[in-house]
């Protein structure tokens, strides 16, 4: 009954015969535990978090539900392996559009081994993490038969400049997203996905308020997942816009200090999204696009089939 | 008419026969321009900032006034040298208590030379910058004849742990601050210095709101200076509490991205100060102090005379 997730945009993928997560039809997500301390640290986090009475309910909803661990046949055929059993956060969506954004200008932390620190530091400097306070780890925009999915390559989206991120965030909520560089994103769903009292921006602001205060956990190298349902918006229905935090293999104790690294990054993302809601699109005509902006419009290929977008 | 500043707690000091800032009796502060690009970058910043109409007036008051540059005899006897002419932010205080806090978990920035980046990174990891999002660069608490000034060593205050910073921030607003480790800080001035509508916390929150929005400048390696007048508070007068931003030799353009590194650090500082205002001191009796907390109580020596506290 277990199958390969259809809508994974980042992270290790079982579809390549590698060790990766699986899902079932009941809305559960099975994430294999890695052998090193990443696996045990993520179990520790979910166990601690799910029983922590200091976490308010309105914050808990930003995290996948946790159903313990379970021994399962691993996707790479290596035999039985413990898996985290989690809520499949996109299972309620038929055709989700998804963006995975790794938060923080720094993905390493003082307690990590030196070689891990150096690897992360190098990648943070090579990608947009250092400059923007976050990097897009992967994304897919659900399309139609003509347009196909828009699923740009992971290596490209990680290194976007500020202007390119702005454009990608517009394309993410456009009805005409495609890899065609001459199609100017119409940002048609911006107000229903990003805006409103239950939109992405409102949810990110709630998260931000919690991060200004909470000093229980430091969420190193975590991602914010942004999901919505394009088909529903097109029909005038609810956008189903939701923010989820995922990937807790590097969470450490906060020890009474706020997670200033995550907070700074999420504030930067909030600023980008706010600008889309407040800045008119008038300038986004094909004629006034800069070369650098046109470059980002080419960053994806239109395809209805799956493309590999891994995360290291 | 130029003299050595009496109340400098961090930075290069002219008092040691080195190149350092000078003040006059009219309330101006003369900061020698360093030969390398730090000097020119700080002039560029002050020039840009003072004419930038996008900076609101209520934010401008957090910055020293800028009166141009002037050729002056350097304090190290090396001859004429250009100096920045600035407002002496402590000149209105007779007996200021001062804390210099370098904001940001990262003091380097992508555009800097590689050797500078590596030096900063090493220091950020060795001090509290990385863990807390800021480090105390120096401080002095005005005392009386019996207690003397409390001016702990710079090397010590830069490396304080979270618990120690909490205690230092309490000692900073206590009537009985001294180097005696058995004196428990009474936090007598906490509400009048940190609290209230014009206190340090309110000012930091104003700054924070601006940093959530402004994407003009990135304030790398800048300090927040916290100043108040103990004598006045003791007599029931105004605390004269003020926040000033100083040291702009590493400010770079924001290019449309908020300064998430400064913002995260200032939010962390805000959390520490909020806690002092909201957490009762009951636990701060000599008996319930931890060893680590007692250690920080010994971090200064009581002296009425000057002690050297440099900044690299």
Domain ranges of chain A: 2-278
Strand A134-140 to A242-246 pairing: unpaired
Taking an 8 Å cut-off on Cβ atoms, the answer to whether B256 and A162 are in contact is yes
Distance CA(B150)–CA(B163), nearest Å, equals 19
**pLDDT band, residue A273 (cuts 50/70/90):** very high
Q: To the nearest whole percent, how much of chain B has pLDDT over 70?
A: 87
Measure the CA–CA gap between B79 and B71, rounded to whole angstroms. Answer: 10
Nearest to A110 among B125, B163, B265 (CB): B125
pLDDT at residue B57 in the model: 96
Instruction: Kindly identify which residue of chain A lies nearest to residue B263, measuring between CA atoms.
Output: A264
Q: Which of residues 78-107 of A touch B (CB under 8 A)?
A: 105-106
Rounded to an integer, what distance in angstroms lies between the CA atom of residue B136 and that of residue B129? 9
- Between these two residues, A142 and A221, which has the higher pLDDT value? A221
Q: Order of strands across the sheet with B22-23?
A: B22-23, B28-32, B80-87, B66-73
Å from B142 to nearest chain A CA?
28
For residue B15 the two structure tokens come to 């008092």
The arithmetic mean of pLDDT across residues B210-228, rounded, is 98
Mean pLDDT of chain B: 88
Find the closest chain A residue to B253 by CA distance: A131
| Span A149-170, average pLDDT | 91
Mean pLDDT of B100-117: 96
Among A265, A8, A277, residue whose Cα is nearest residue A151: A8
Q: What pLDDT is recorded for position B309? A: 28
**Strands of the A223-229 sheet, one edge to the other:** A134-140, A96-103, A223-229, A242-246
Whether chain A has a CB inside 8 Å of the CB on B268: the answer is yes
Q: What is the C-alpha to C-alpha distance for residues B290 and B163, in angstroms, rounded to an integer?
A: 10
Give φ, ψ of B300 to 5 degrees.
-120, 165
> Residue B43: CB partners within 8 Å, gap ≥ 6?
B33, B69, B84
B223: closest CA among B251, B255, B188?
B251
Averaged pLDDT for residues B92-106? 94
DSSP three-state, residue A56: coil
Provide the CA A191 distance to its chain's centre, in angstroms.
20
State the smallest CA–CA distance between residue A276 and chain B in angstroms. 13
Q: Strand pairing partners for B88? A: none
Question: Do B222 and B252 contact (CB within 8 A), yes or no?
Answer: no
Give the 3-state secondary structure of residue B85.
strand
- Residues 204 through 223 of chain B touching chain A, CB cutoff 8 Å: 212-213, 215
Q: Mark which residues 51-80 of A lie under 8 Å from B by CB.
A: none
For residue B301, the distance in angstroms to the closest alpha carbon of chain A comes to 28
Q: How many CB pairs under 8 A join A and B?
A: 78
Q: Do the Cβ atoms of A176 and A183 come closer than 8 Å?
A: yes
The predicted-structure confidence for A5-46, as pLDDT tens digits, reads as follows 888 888 778 777 789 999 999 999 999 998 888 889 999 999
Nearest alpha-carbon partner for B109 in B174, B52, B38: B38
Nearest residue to A115 via CA among A123, A125, A127 = A123
Q: DSSP class of residue B280? A: -
Q: Do A106 and B110 touch (CB under 8 A)?
A: no
Fold of A2-278: D-amino Acid Aminotransferase; Chain A, domain 1 (3.30.470)
Helix axes B200-213, A260-278, angle to 10 degrees: 50
CB atoms within 10 A of CB A103: 28
Q: Give the separation between CA B191 and CA B199, rounded to whole angstroms.
A: 8
Residue among B105, B110, B263 minimizing CB distance to A267: B263
Mean pLDDT of chain A: 88
pLDDT class for B75, splitting at 50, 70, 90? very high
Tell me which residue in A105, A260, A270 faces B268 most closely, judged by beta carbons.
A260
Is the CB of residue A267 less than 8 Å from the CB of residue B173? no
Report residue B34 as tokens. 């360093």
**DSSP per-residue string spanning B148-163:** -EE---HHHHTT--HH
Q: What is the pLDDT of residues B231-265, one digit of tens each?
A: 899 898 999 999 999 999 999 999 999 999 999 99
d(CA B214, CA B234): 38
The pLDDT of residue B202 is above 80: yes
* A2 at B interface, C-beta within 8 A: no
Q: Say yes or no for a CB contact (<8 Å) between B258 and A265.
A: no
Most confident of A204-213, A227-236, B88-97, B139-148: A204-213
Residues paired with residue A162 on neighbouring β-strands, in sequence order:
none
More confident residue, A298 or A237: A237
Query: Does the pLDDT value for residue B304 go beyond 50?
Result: no
Burial class of residue A232 (count of CB atoms within 10 Å of its CB; 0-12, 13-18, 19+): middle
What is the C-alpha to C-alpha distance for residues A250 and A186, in angstroms, rounded to an integer?
A: 38
The C-alpha atoms of residue B234 and residue B4 are separated, in whole angstroms, by 28
The pLDDT value recorded for residue A94 is 83
> Is the CB of A260 inside 8 Å of chain B's CB atoms?
yes
Kindly list the distances between the CA atom of residue A162 and the CA atoms of A159, A195, B175, in Å, as whole numbers in the listed order: 10, 21, 49
Provide, as residue numbers in chain B, all residues whose Cβ is less than 8 Å from the Cβ of A123: none
Answer whether B255 touches A (CB < 8 Å). yes
For the ranges A78-82, A182-186, A229-233, B117-121, the lowest mean pLDDT is seen at: A182-186
* Cβ neighbours of residue B304 closer than 8 Å, sequence gap 6 or more: B143, B145, B148, B149
| Mean pLDDT of the region B205-212 | 98
B312, pLDDT greater than 70: no
Closest Cα of chain B to A60: distance in Å? Answer: 22
Residue B9: its pLDDT value, please? 84
Q: Does A110 touch chain B (CB under 8 A)?
A: yes
Q: What is the pLDDT of residues A90-130, one digit of tens each?
A: 988 888 999 999 999 999 999 999 999 999 999 999 999 99
**Residue in A99, A12, A74 with CA at minimum distance from that of residue A308:** A12
The answer to whether B260 and A264 have CB atoms below 8 angstroms apart is yes
B186 has a pLDDT exceeding 70: yes
pLDDT given at position B302: 38
From the number of C-beta atoms within 10 Å of its C-beta (0-12, 13-18, 19+), residue A271 rates as buried
Q: Tell me, what's the pLDDT at A18?
A: 86
Q: Quick check: A301 pLDDT over 50?
A: no
CA distance A8 to A143: 16
């Amino acid at each position: 009954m277990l199958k390969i997730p259809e809508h994974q945009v980042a992270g290790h993928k079982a579809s390549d015969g590698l060790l990766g997560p699986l899902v079932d039809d009941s809305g559960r997500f099975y994430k294999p535990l890695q052998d090193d301390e990443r696996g045990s640290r993520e179990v520790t986090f979910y166990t601690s978090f799910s029983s922590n009475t200091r976490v308010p309910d309105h914050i808990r909803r930003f995290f996948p539900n946790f159903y313990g661990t379970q021994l399962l046949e691993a996707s790479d055929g290596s035999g039985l392996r413990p898996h985290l059993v989690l809520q499949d956060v996109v299972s309620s969506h038929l055709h989700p559009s998804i963006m995975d954004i790794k938060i923080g200008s720094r993905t390493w932390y003082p307690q990590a081994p030196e070689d891990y620190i150096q690897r992360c530091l190098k990648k943070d400097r090579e990608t947009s993490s250092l400059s923007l306070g976050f990097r897009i780890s992967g994304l897919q925009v659900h399309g139609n038969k003509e347009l196909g999915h828009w699923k740009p390559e992971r290596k490209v989206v990680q290194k976007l400049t500020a202007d390119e991120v702005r454009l990608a965030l517009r394309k993410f909520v456009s009805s005409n997203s495609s890899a065609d560089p001459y199609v100017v994103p119409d940002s048609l769903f911006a107000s229903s996905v990003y805006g409103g009292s239950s939109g992405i921006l409102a949810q990110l602001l709630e998260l931000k308020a919690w991060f200004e205060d909470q000093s229980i956990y430091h969420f190193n190298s975590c991602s914010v997942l942004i999901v919505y349902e394009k088909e529903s918006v097109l029909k005038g229905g609810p956008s189903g816009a939701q923010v989820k935090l995922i990937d807790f293999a590097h969470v450490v104790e906060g020890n009474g200090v706020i997670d200033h690294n995550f907070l700074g990054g999420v504030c930067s993302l909030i600023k980008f999204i706010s600008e889309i809601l407040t800045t008119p699109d008038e300038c986004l005509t094909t004629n006034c696009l800069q070369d650098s902006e046109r470059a980002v419009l080419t960053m994806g290929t239109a395809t209805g089939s799956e493309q590999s977008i891994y995360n290291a």
